[in-house]
Amino acid sequence: LAKTTQPISMDSYEGQEVNITCSHNNIATNDYITWYQQFPSQGPRFIIQGYKTKVTNEVASLFIPADRKSSTLSLPRVSLSDTAVYYCLVGPNRLRAGNMLTFGGGTRLMVKP
């Protein structure tokens, strides 16, 4: 499975847009990019998934360039409640037996008032 690299931590202020970039140089043709959010004392929660170009949902946007070697999670107008750890994962979207999703260290986002 493709290895991912993310910044260890980021700081932002309420109301700002936050962009977290993930590098995945060895992404395979059938791999998707998925982002999870984890609050303290909770399990990770799915945010968004994409394969190429741009995906948007009610929470975030995901930008994926043509070469797919990186991706950017964009959180518009963050609030204090967006303070969490964000994980970028790369793998097939049809989890057949044996497909493992590996979490890296994630990016710790701190939103300040």
> CB-wise, 66 or 94, nearer to other proteins?
94
| Strand spans (E) along 1-113 | 9-13, 18-23, 31-38, 45-50, 53-56, 61-64, 70-75, 84-92, 107-112
| b (16+ CB within 10 A) / e for 74-91 | bbeebeeebbbbbbbbbb
For residue 96, the minimal CB distance to other proteins (Å) is: 5
> CB-wise, 12 or 37, nearer to other proteins?
37
Q: From the centroid of its chain, how far is CA 49?
A: 8
For residue 66, the minimal CB distance to other proteins (Å) is: 22
- Interface residues with other proteins (CB under 8 A) are 32, 34, 36, 41-46, 49, 85, 87, 91-98, 100-106
For residue 2, the minimal CB distance to other proteins (Å) is: 14
> CB-wise, 20 or 106, nearer to other proteins?
106
For residue 5, the minimal CB distance to other proteins (Å) is: 12
At 80, give phi and psi (nearest 5°): -55, -30
